[in-house]
Chain A
Amino acid sequence: MAGEPTASDTPWLDKDAEPLIRIKGITKKFGEFIAVNNVDLDIYQGELFCLLGGSGCGKTTLLRMLAGFETPSSGTIVIDGADMSQVPPYERPTNMMFQSYALFPHMSVEKNVAFGLKQDKVPNDEIADRVDDILKLVELQDFKARKPQQLSGGQRQRVALARALVKKPKVLLLDEPLAALDKKLREHTQFELANIQEQVGITFVVVTHDQEEAMTLSSRIAVMDKGEFVQIGTPTEIYEFPETRFVADFIGSANIFEGEIVEDGADHVRVSTSLGEIYIDHGQSTKMGSRVWAAIRPEKIHLSKKAPTKSGPNQAAGKVDDIGYLGNSSIYKIRLDTGQIVDVTSPNQIRPKSRTHGITWEDTVYLNWEPSSAMLLNK
């Protein structure tokens, strides 16, 4: 998360690295419905891996197959070199943190956390020590005797985490770990979760529908749609180098224009779109004349009331159709002459002198962006 990536931080780039989890050709059908469709994925030791997607995209089903609650219709799952297909959930080296937390209501916090160790016939004094240690880690050492219903939402979440971590699983599976918390607590807990993961060094696989959560937490993200992976990569790769329109639109927002390649250089491309000509300063192996899409993120477009001094690519003009004031920034909906609407976000860096802002409705404005800003998409 922090600092420059080193080789050990990016094991997925190392061709010789042995993955901790190897998912190969996994398909899951429920009757006629295909929940997960022939997916392959390697996850490495120490990763905090996010499965990101909308509801019904198959992310939870995939997680439940890792835990052993669902049997794949076909394909194999290998964890730490062992094939999991015949291994029931109670013998897998995985533990799960449930979305609802699934704390046993008839057991105290201590009993809940000790439950897993008891199943493994760990000696009693060792159980006591390990429970104490893990409760200290999640700062709940004073709540041992409480029943789950006597805890707040955030505390329950930490008990659930402690209960799953105390068994020192090779993989911790987290199903929407923060979904039940309110917004402020969620932001705080995101960082806490990542810190704990760093401390214990256990591989986390997190399912979430919240892209912000995925971006802050993960080493890598797999974006899922309709049972398939659309793109797998680091948060930066996913955001700055989306491969498809779906990803560009799902992660953050993007203005997407259909177009045709008119010039294909080694280090640049020119695309002709309804927005005018877009110049992109990085090469892309695409055929001339093929149908492509250019996407530009709203925050990468500059907005100006002054007309540009010279004509050229990467600029456009339009009228302000609507303004959404968010406080720290504003969203402008710009209607082009073609009738198209382009979204532009602009940070409110300067406090306006008067209550009326600089750019307002029906103003004629000019847009431009850096040659590096537009992203070229083939799908």
Chain B
Amino acid sequence: MFRQLARRMQAGWRSIVVFIPYVWLLVFFLLPFFIVAKISVAELVIASPPFSKMIEWTDSGAMTIRIVFDNFIYIFNDDLYSRTYINSLKISIISTIFCLLIGYPMAYGIVRSGPVAKKLLLFAVILPFWTSFLLRVYAWMGLLADQGTINNLLIWIGLIDEPIRMLYTEFAVYIGIVYTYLPFMILPLYANMEKLDGSLNEAAADLGSRPTNTFFKVTLPLTTPGIVAGSLLVFIPATGEYVIPDLLGGGNVLMIGRLLYNEFAANTDWPVASAVAIVLLILLVLPMTIYQYYQGKATEG
């Protein structure tokens, strides 16, 4: 309602306000993707930078454009890449489900707590976010190692004789992802549940619905937006995760983020690495668009 007026009055300095962050994001966020896309259709050459030019001028002044899809064909034909993509998706989907199974009752529990307990619990969920992510993953290395706390404890109480191998397995990666991303599941769920009208539950109870029935017929459908937002916030970054599979999975767990990093750092095969990134991006475009849609709806004035 205020907009037309705002437009007229703020014509002068408002363009500067938009301009600065806009240009920043164009140059440092959008433009880089185009460069990656460009490199992904180039060929590997021994040079610096190690890829062929897309546009070249011949001596006669004619322009030649070189686009090759070899890198993509290579990725699709190579068993390693397809297995890695599938494994990444598998790990992130299963982790998301576990986050939901643990996070939903936790969020519900927080919402149903007294006013003081609610604040403290919420605080406790946010707090890990402010400490180092890397060090939280590191903490699990100490727990899961062959000589680690869990094995020591189990041997001490006599449940096992030999340490169970947990660190550098897929299990460790699941633990790491769930541990790291659980707050991202709890917070949107909490925000969603908190907004629900408490009298809905009372109305359902008054109309003769038992708590379990009320949960499945009233609460669960109304918290779908929170479930979608939380799941996407876990699924998307988990798919591209690099640190957790590297530290907790060692070399034994195939995940695309790790492969991409190594492709780039060790092999310096930029065109293939770029193609790997583009394929990952394409895989995540749909979930990201859904998330943006939700986010946009939530923040629009």
Contact = CB atoms under 8 A, between A and B. Distances in A.
Please tell me whether chains A and B touch each other in their complex, using a CB distance cut-off of 8 A: yes
Interface of A: 30, 64, 68-71, 88-89
Contacts of B8: 71, 88
B1 A30 contact: yes
B1 A69 contact: yes
Interface in B94-141: none
Interface residues of B, number: 6
Nearest to A88: B9
Q: Dominant SS at the A interface?
A: loop
Given A70-B1, A71-B4, 9 more contacts: A30-B1, A68-B5, A69-B1, A69-B5, A71-B5, A71-B8, A88-B8, A88-B9, A89-B5
A68 B4 CA distance: 11
Nearest to A90: B9
A69 B2 contact: yes
Nearest to B7: A71
Interface in B1-60: 1-2, 4-5, 8-9
A152 B218 CA distance: 39
Interface of B: 1-2, 4-5, 8-9
A64 B4 CA distance: 13
A70 B3 CA distance: 9
16 contacts: A30-B1, A64-B1, A68-B5, A69-B1, A69-B2, A69-B5, A70-B1, A70-B4, A70-B5, A71-B4, A71-B5, A71-B8, A88-B5, A88-B8, A88-B9, A89-B5
Nearest to A89: B5
Between B4, B5, B8, the greatest number of chain A beta carbons within 10 A of the residue's beta carbon is seen for B5
A71 B7 CA distance: 11
A69 B5 CA distance: 7
A188 to B, nearest CB: 33
Nearest to B2: A69
Contacts of B2: 69
Contacts of B9: 88
Nearest to A28: B1
Contacts of A69: 1-2, 5
B7 to A, nearest CB: 10
A89 B10 CA distance: 13
Contacts of A88: 5, 8-9
Nearest to A68: B5
| Among all A-B residue pairs, the 5 with the closest Cβ atoms | A71-B4, A88-B9, A71-B5, A69-B5, A70-B1
A205 B249 CA distance: 72
Contacts of A71: 4-5, 8
Nearest to B6: A69
Contacts of B1: 30, 64, 69-70
Contacts of B4: 70-71
A91 to B, nearest CB: 11
A64 B9 CA distance: 16
A30 B4 CA distance: 11
